[in-house]
Structure 1
Amino acid sequence: MPHLPVNHPARPVYRALSALIGLYILVFGVWGTALTWGEPLFGRGSNWALGLRTNLAFSLVSIAFGIVLIVGASRRNNLGHYMNLTAGVVFLATSILMMSVLQTDANFLNFSMSTVVVSMLFGLILLGTGLYDKVGAPEDAEAERNRRYHPVAEIHRRS
């Protein structure tokens, strides 16, 4: 069983952080859509929004992801927890995939190296926030704390 903290005291900070990332992604998507409207969906032009290269497809996907992250951060249940974990993995996988095809015609989202770095950073932050924003009943939180601070766990922690 994983030992993810339940009802972590800094959970509001993690939710705010994921909401800020969602807001940035949403604004980037809206701005990028306004810049690339009328161009091909998977165009490889030199359109930049908020420091990241984009095309219409990437901008539209960013709008959807931004909304999903903001909705997840606004919920007080485990929906945000699962959304952040999933979004973190998606951002990391996408950044690695797009980095591998950066200088080829397969770069259909028109990534640049700065886009890869920001996507990887957002993925790591969202994965981290997802690990610490789990919600549960007070009994669940107490049981998780007892497992973490059990004397057997203390012996393993010292060695």
Structure 2
Amino acid sequence: MRALVLLALVPLSACGLHPLYGGGSASSVASTLRSIAVGPIPGQSGWLVRNKLVDRLGEAGSGTAIYRLDVTLDDNITAFGLSSNQAATQERRTLRARYQLVEVKTGMVVLDATAGSDSGIDIVGSEYATVAAEQTALENLAEIVADQITARVGLYASRTAQPK
């Protein structure tokens, strides 16, 4: 049985997969991510997403930034699911981001992509509870969108960064 498992793993060694952050904080991908300055993003959702991105990428100093990440957000809440008295019973909060990675020196856009996610919210009798649920949904969506952006920028960095 062991031999069969080991034999099944042999093709995986030649598949070309390698860790994105191989080499840890000294890797070329990590140093590229640290060289990205995150531009300001307006609004509460922008503040949340920007803070999450800075946590993941690190804050590049103004003199050390090679890239700038520009993000535009679309935060939308849509009510649906009508009860017998025509009041909405659910909401869907959607957070979409269009982001561009720009070389600071040349102003050239090297990555232009989108990210997004949505969340369902039950509308309950307490307005406070509904507002709290909307806020929690926004915080969770900001985290998901920041993770998507970081992963995509990390993939770009892995394909373009020079090995150390």
Give the TM-score taking structure 2 as reference length: 0.24
Q: Which structure features the higher share of helix residues?
A: 1
Which one has a bigger Cα radius of gyration? 2
With normalisation by structure 1, the TM-score equals 0.24
Q: Would you tell me which structure has more strand in proportion to its own residues?
A: 2
Bigger RCO (CA 8 Å, 6+ sep): 1
